[in-house]
Structure 1
Amino acid sequence: MADVSLQQVMEALADPVRRLAVAQLASSAEDLSCGAFVMPVSRSTATHHFNVLREAGVIRQHYVGTTKMNALRAQELEARFPGLLPALLAATRREEGQTAEL
């Protein structure tokens, strides 16, 4: 995380699909497999989004057997950029609520 810049994280989180994935991880009590996410994109596009999040240090991916699992690096992000993740999640929830009302 020491090599991750704020620019990288912000660029990764600028995309609404990636914010959706982060929000799903944040609300889950456990790591999620790639197939467990509800995303409005194809599987190959979702893979691209996971790669961007991983390269920006937002998520960690690991295998359990043959299943690729995703974990939000919430503690590391909080230590590196205090308050960023909670602010992002709150804004995402507000944005989703506005979209639902339309």
Structure 2
Amino acid sequence: MHTPEPTAGSGRRLAHPEREEIRLETVLHALADPIRLRIAGELADGHTEMACIAFELPVSKSTCTHHFRVLREAGVIRQHYEGTARMSRLREDDLEALFPGLLSAVLEAYRRSHRPV
């Protein structure tokens, strides 16, 4: 059952899958999209938590919202509100417990493929 994330005074809650509800095929589907993989990569590269508006993505605001929702519903990220900002962070511990080495391997492959030549 999806559990709403506690909020910091805004009253708005976002649903997240419990750790045991996260499925490999859903995580892989979420990370297969280049925009979503880029979001995960930026979160992994020293940004433990970022507001959605901090990402410079080449898509519209509504498309960004869609990508973040797919990542959240797949269990790749956890989101909560801080005022009006929706903050995102990777669920590294949950993913590592379920699929050891998967996230680090996918992100390392992403980094290698996006290094300047």
Deviations 1:15-53 (A, max 9, x none): 011000000001134310000112121111111000000
Higher helix share goes to which structure? Answer: 1
Q: Counterpart amino acid of 2:33?
A: D
**TM-score, normalising length from structure 1?**
0.92
SS at 1:30 equivalent: coil
Moved beyond 4 Å, runs of 4+: none
Q: Counterpart amino acid of 2:114?
A: E
SS at 2:44 equivalent: helix
Identical positions, percent:
53
2:60 aligned residue (19, 24, 42): 42
The size of the alignment, in residue pairs, is: 99
2:92 aligned residue (70, 74, 82): 74
Deviations 1:50-78 (A, max 9, x none): 00000000000101111110011011110
**Which aligned pairs between 1:1-102 and structure 2 lie closer than 5 A?**
1-97=19-115, 100-101=116-117
Distance 2:71 2:82 in 1: 19
**TM-score, normalising length from structure 2?**
0.80
User: Are the equivalent residues in 1 in contact too, given 2:92–2:103 (CA < 8 A)?
Assistant: yes
Unaligned runs of 5+ in 1: none
